[in-house]
Structure 1
């Protein structure tokens, strides 16, 4: 479908000054019509005052308590007015000003429900030094039961696709994005087109990239998402995805 307007949804809670970098990377995009929807969970670190002078006409900023990151994502998606919707974390940024133009062009040429790209990981303070590249080109729906999913921050869906799949489940602490992937590509059979390109530079240290306790939680939740959606899997299959992460480190 033709993409005339793109929405970028960013959710945050006490993100600090780094949110400004995410906002600037959205505003630097050369696509003609991009709205930025920022859903803040009622930050107490000065975020509303920091964001206010940066907002453009058509942008949305909401600051109020929410029930967590996935509830905030749902709020942002519901408010988004674009033909396609991207999610950008508060401490991430777009790789270059042409990302969203290339995404829109791929939607136009492919007619897909989703456009997938890659993510480059960086350490705090060094956004231009990649320590790992998440290659969404390895994704296939048949591999979901093995714990494989496209890079979530580099997954852009049409408005209609989000309406079909439904909201992110707030029953998961970390893996609601994986549950969404299960529903999107297995239950609803969304079509997708992969663009071999880094869409997003992602800072390590988020909830899903934390230590061993977080890994145990996400593994349990990923297996739960498979089982609740009728996808056969087991703990060994889910854990096998870590081999791919090692290969990403080698290949970067």
Structure 2
């Protein structure tokens, strides 16, 4: 089995090397690593190029945002299974992808997901995002499995489509809601697969939080998922229990 890993990046010279090394350190698995750079000007591109053919595909050109960049990577992917790793993030250990491949080989499933953790710039654990309690009807409450831990067969993307770039910061929510509404077969693995650095686009300001929740409502409306803003904002109560004090 071959797994394609997509990283979209723009001006992340301080973190991209850690991300790349995390992918290259994965053991007992065939990887197709695809990096899509939006035309970085800070030295990121030169760092990526220094790895040569260790990175199977490198696209560097202007894009229309992270989801447009990720879509370029997904279209270029030839792996049996596709996942992503953001440029600020890393895998929790060097056998994550091997365990994902093993799960797909043993189970009759279309997708798999697990847990992730968030750390601050000093590496201190801030939050645990556990996907184990997820149920498909949770989309009505603005909840979804941890997307950075989500891996699906390429044929699922070919059949159900890629990110909808009309969404600025909730295209991952819309994609997962669309996939689960199509009744994909999935399995949750009670492990931590990704270590994320805090400060993502959807959480960096009040304005971003308002936008993502508006887009979540729009996605649910488009997909015929009955919801309202009271349901969507109620997710913040359960999120309180994920933070490490």
> What range is the shorter-chain TM-score in?
over 0.9
Distance in structure 1 (CA, Å) of the matches to 2:52 and 2:177: 35
What TM-score results when the alignment is normalised by the length of structure 2? 0.97
Matched residue of 1:11: which SS? strand
Is 1:71 the counterpart of 2:68 in the alignment? yes
Distance 1:58 1:25, change over 3 A: closer
Aligned counterparts, 1:87-102, within 5 A: 87-102=84-99
Distance in structure 2 (CA, Å) of the matches to 1:201 and 1:165: 28
Q: How far apart are 1:248 and its partner, in Å?
A: 1.3
Aligned counterparts, 1:1-252, within 5 A: 4-57=1-54, 59-126=56-123, 129-186=124-181, 188-249=182-243
Q: How far apart are 1:65 and its partner, in Å?
A: 0.5
The runs of at least 4 consecutive aligned structure 1 residues that moved more than 2 Å come to 55-58
Matched residue of 2:58: which SS? strand
Q: How far apart are 1:17 and its partner, in Å?
A: 2.6
Matched residue of 1:17: which SS? coil
Distance in structure 2 (CA, Å) of the matches to 1:23 and 1:146: 34
Distance in structure 2 (CA, Å) of the matches to 1:124 and 1:99: 23
RMSD: 1.2
5+ unaligned residues in a row in structure 2: which ranges? none
Distance in structure 1 (CA, Å) of the matches to 2:157 and 2:176: 11
5+ unaligned residues in a row in structure 1: which ranges? none
Alignment check: 8 A CA contact 2:29 2:101 kept:
no
Distance 1:42 1:58, change over 3 A: closer
| Deviation digits for residues 111-139 of structure 1 (CA, Å, limit 9, x no counterpart) | 2111101111000131xx32111111121
Distance in structure 1 (CA, Å) of the matches to 2:201 and 2:55: 30
Matched residue of 2:4: which SS? strand
Q: How far apart are 1:58 and its partner, in Å?
A: 5.9
| Deviation digits for residues 26-53 of structure 1 (CA, Å, limit 9, x no counterpart) | 0000033111100000111112211112
Distance in structure 2 (CA, Å) of the matches to 1:124 and 1:76: 27
Matched residue of 1:148: which SS? coil
